[in-house]
Structure 1
Amino acid sequence: MLSSPFPPPQDQAIPVSELNRRTRALLENSFPPLWVSGEISNLTRHGSGHWYFSLKDDKAQVRCVMFRHRNQYLDFEVREGMQVEARAIVTLYEPRGDFQLNVETLRPGGLGALYEAFARLKARLEAEGLFVPERKRPLPSFPRAVGIITSREAAALRDVLTTLRRRMPSLPVVIYPTPVQGRGAAARIAEAIGIANQRGECDVLILCRGGGSIEDLWEFNEEIVARAIVASHIPIVCGVGHETDFTIADFAADVRAPTPTAAAELASPNRVELAHKLDRFAARLARDMQRTLETRMQHLDHLAKRLRHPGERLRQQADELAHWRQRLGQAVQGQLARRRWQLAHLAARLAAARPDLARRRQGLDHLGTRLTRATAQSLAHWRQRLASLEAHLGHLNPRAVLNRGYSIVRNEAGEIVTRASQLQMGETVALTFAVGGADARVLDTHAPTPETG
């Protein structure tokens, strides 16, 4: 049990503001947010956006306030005398001591379960991606035919047909009659959408019915209808109820129209607008053609001014040819004169640079004599040098030494022996004489004497 905000009785008086503050705290702590049902009366929409009204039944009433940041999210129109259910906080308005409800949200009375079912289905289908804009298809600008899915007795059918006749009388219309209210109507609506797709008679479909309560429109909140709309390969315009009515079919459709009449306007071209547009295009085309003709005529006048008689042009070209002939002759004569002057100049330079052949020949003879003499002297010098070198080579020739009685001794390895210490007892040596050679065996070696080193 919640403790009371009031202290034990005391003789000391408290201000009214303190009393109201404690009373408000007691009320807000004692009552959690709860749903209260009743009829709206004395509804006042303040300039600040806040709403002030009373909820009443046949026995009592209570003051209510709903602030702007709460009421702006309601998806239905609140009217005087409407039965509603309000989720509210029980409180006290301290400045006046008024007992009141601080309303957080409203829903039509007795329809809470339907609205909750609507919200749950909408959230689930939205999570599956059935309502994403990327999935939805554009409406054809000039459909071959328009299909209407609704009841034959529906007032919406008459509104749609009237609108289509007014906008485009020649547009074919195919009606797929189906009940739009009552048990089993949702399955019949889905079946009609499937039939229209199988036949392929239309380029766009209008799913419509007039306004009504949420119970009357509930068939358009069924999942089977939403999935049939999504599965349709023909674009669907949904015009169900009034502008403030929203159904699951509106979210699933390719285009949502606020009313059946608006759905017919979205699905069909307007012949008046098309005629006006055609007139504008025709006027623009005429202006462009006129502007083009004027431009071409002006260009033609310009070309006519430039046009000359062929004889005059031939005379002009003959004059130009004579002028160029004269200039060419002058250029040739000038070029010949320059070439003659250059030739004379070069001849003078050649004469000045011509050598004295007799003197050059005499010098050449003199040089020949000197060359002969120098060659003979050089040959004598080199013969003498060669004889001297031959004499020196003769002294250095090993054969000359051998001729004087010496010989060359080689060991078994073929090395020349110059010392007795290089030989071993019994070793075979090869002897080379001035003429011929011989093999010998070492019987003994002798140490060097002082005289031989």
Structure 2
Amino acid sequence: MAESAPRILTVTELNRLARDTLERAFPLFWVSGEISNLTRAASGHWYFSLKDAGAQVRCVMFRGRNSYLDWQPREGDKVEARALVTLYEARGDFQLTIEFLQRAGLGTLFEAFEKLKAKLQAEGLFDAALKRPIPAHPQRIGIVTSPDAAALRDVLSTLRRRMPSLEVIIYPTPVQGKGAATQIAAAIETASARAEVDVLIVCRGGGSMEDLWQFNEEIVARAIHGCSMPVISGVGHETDFTIADFAADVRAATPTAAAELVSADRQALLQAQAQLSRRLSRAMQQLLNQRMQHMDYLTRRLLSPSQQIAHRGHQLQQWQWRLQQAMRQKLDRQTRQLQTLQQNLVHLNPQAILSRGYTLAYAEDGSLLKSVQTLQKGKGITLQLTDGLVKTTVDQVHPQ
């Protein structure tokens, strides 16, 4: 029985199999070492080796990853790298693909940072209800920083540009190095005890986590919390956060931003003042115009004594004419009523009835006869005609 021919791999296939095996066998992990042979390619990728006393390994950190770092590694730096194992197939080189890079020991610093932050937060040092407002228009500003720091120059130039009249008191202190935290806290306590400023800025420029670590010390946080005036923390760059930022009443992204928080823009205030002045002038002019218009109206209504007499005389003539008209109308109405009553009296007058041919009959006792039932034969009656009386005797009675 013939043996089957062995599979013969190409170099490409071999390297691909080796790469797949390595990548499956080594998940994402951390490795520490010293940087050597660092090269920054025009493409933005970084190529270097990580070494220790016994070995070294090639590494690559692509631009999409190294662009997130806020520091620049240098030859000889001790670092900790989060990496994946791979094989560069074209040359068969074993290498690490670096996902994240930090200075050696930062893991311990981060742990200490989070531990102290949790402790102080549990004590209430970061409670938002305890934060004090920054005065809108402070007269005197205090600054705790190094007198040689670029941050101080940035703050002073910003204050001069925005509000030159502000007084500034500097409480000098080292901001980096061994023992600096104690001196920073002492400077804050000095400013608090003197109480000669309206607001205090604690600041320094950017740097690595180790450079800013003095502002992560508990003694500095407690000094800020116990300060008698509002405190603004302006430490590092916008992406840097320190324990001092949480303890302060307000955090500013940069020292320059802290200076802007305590100083109103003089030009903006002047422009606002000019705008308010124009609005006030317009309002006053409008009010004056309204008052003048009202005065003109009252002037037109105001009459001289002779005009008032003439006006009253004209009114009196009108009232006299109206009174005469009213009296005439009333007299006419009463005259018509009298005529109506007279006509009614004429119609109701018995004499007028007799003139139309009617006769009134009276009994012997003078009572008016209204029915033949009251007459008796032989009785005398009197007849009243329009022009006299007739005495007669009843001869016959014919009831109907």
Question: How does the TM-score come out when normalised to structure 1?
Answer: 0.58
Q: CA deviation at 1:344?
A: 8.3
Alignment of 1:63 onto 2:64: no
Task: Spell out, residue by residue over 1:129-167, the C-alpha distance to the aligned partner (whole angstroms, 9 max, x if none).
Answer: 655655433321221322222344545445544544554
Tell whether the 8 Å contact from 2:60 to 2:97 is kept in structure 1 after alignment: no
Tell whether the 8 Å contact from 2:59 to 2:98 is kept in structure 1 after alignment: no
Pick from 141, 154, 157 the counterpart of residue 146 of structure 1: 141
Pick from 32, 47, 70 the counterpart of residue 54 of structure 1: 47
Distance 2:341 2:216 in 1: 115
- Structure 2 residue identity aligned to 1:149: V
Tell whether the 8 Å contact from 1:65 to 1:100 is kept in structure 2 after alignment: no
In structure 2, relative to structure 1, the CA distance for the partners of 1:140 and 1:200 (3 Å cut) is same
Tell whether the 8 Å contact from 2:195 to 2:228 is kept in structure 1 after alignment: no
- Structure 1 residue identity aligned to 2:47: S
Q: Which residue of 2 aligns with 1:234?
A: 229
Alignment of 1:42 onto 2:40: yes
What pairs with 1:416-435 in structure 2 (closer than 5 Å)? none
Q: CA deviation at 1:101?
A: 4.6
Distance 1:276 1:80 in 2: 48
Moved more, 196-205 or 175-184: 175-184
Question: How does the TM-score come out when normalised to structure 2?
Answer: 0.64
Distance 1:114 1:346 in 2: 127
Return 5+ residue gaps in structure 2 as ranges: 349-366, 369-400
Moved more, 88-97 or 302-311: 88-97
- Structure 2 residue identity aligned to 1:64: M
Q: CA deviation at 1:105?
A: 3.5
- Structure 1 residue identity aligned to 2:144: I
Moved more, 242-251 or 119-128: 119-128
Tell whether the 8 Å contact from 1:160 to 1:261 is kept in structure 2 after alignment: yes
Percent identity of the aligned residues?
52
SS of the residue corresponding to residue 56 of structure 1 reads strand
In structure 2, relative to structure 1, the CA distance for the partners of 1:204 and 1:43 (3 Å cut) is farther
Tell whether the 8 Å contact from 2:57 to 2:94 is kept in structure 1 after alignment: no
In structure 2, relative to structure 1, the CA distance for the partners of 1:56 and 1:325 (3 Å cut) is farther
What pairs with 1:87-102 in structure 2 (closer than 5 Å)? 87-91=82-86, 101=96
Tell whether the 8 Å contact from 1:238 to 1:256 is kept in structure 2 after alignment: yes
Distance 2:121 2:5 in 1: 61
Pick from 67, 70, 77 the counterpart of residue 70 of structure 2: 77
Alpha-carbon RMSD across the aligned residues, in angstroms, is 4.5
Return 5+ residue gaps in structure 1 as ranges: 1-8, 46-50, 353-357, 360-453
Alignment of 1:33 onto 2:28: yes
Tell whether the 8 Å contact from 1:41 to 1:80 is kept in structure 2 after alignment: no
SS of the residue corresponding to residue 173 of structure 1 reads strand
Q: Which residue of 2 aligns with 1:174?
A: 169
Distance 1:164 1:196 in 2: 19
Distance 1:331 1:114 in 2: 112
Tell whether the 8 Å contact from 2:233 to 2:244 is kept in structure 1 after alignment: yes
Task: Spell out, residue by residue over 1:285-306, the C-alpha distance to the aligned partner (whole angstroms, 9 max, x if none).
Answer: 4444445445544555555555
Moved more, 167-176 or 202-211: 167-176
What pairs with 1:10-409 in structure 2 (closer than 5 Å)? 11=6, 23-37=18-32, 39=35, 41-42=39-40, 52-57=45-50, 59-65=56-62, 76-79=69-72, 81=74, 83=77, 84-91=79-86, 101=96, 103-123=98-118, 125=120, 130-131=125-126, 135-297=130-292, 300-301=295-296, 304=299, 308-335=303-330, 337-338=332-333
- Structure 2 residue identity aligned to 1:42: R
SS of the residue corresponding to residue 35 of structure 1 reads strand
In structure 2, relative to structure 1, the CA distance for the partners of 1:177 and 1:338 (3 Å cut) is same
SS of the residue corresponding to residue 246 of structure 1 reads coil
Tell whether the 8 Å contact from 2:58 to 2:96 is kept in structure 1 after alignment: no
In structure 2, relative to structure 1, the CA distance for the partners of 1:293 and 1:92 (3 Å cut) is farther
SS of the residue corresponding to residue 112 of structure 1 reads helix
SS of the residue corresponding to residue 323 of structure 1 reads helix
Distance 1:122 1:169 in 2: 38
How many residues are treated as equivalent by the alignment?
A: 338
Q: CA deviation at 1:336?
A: 5.8
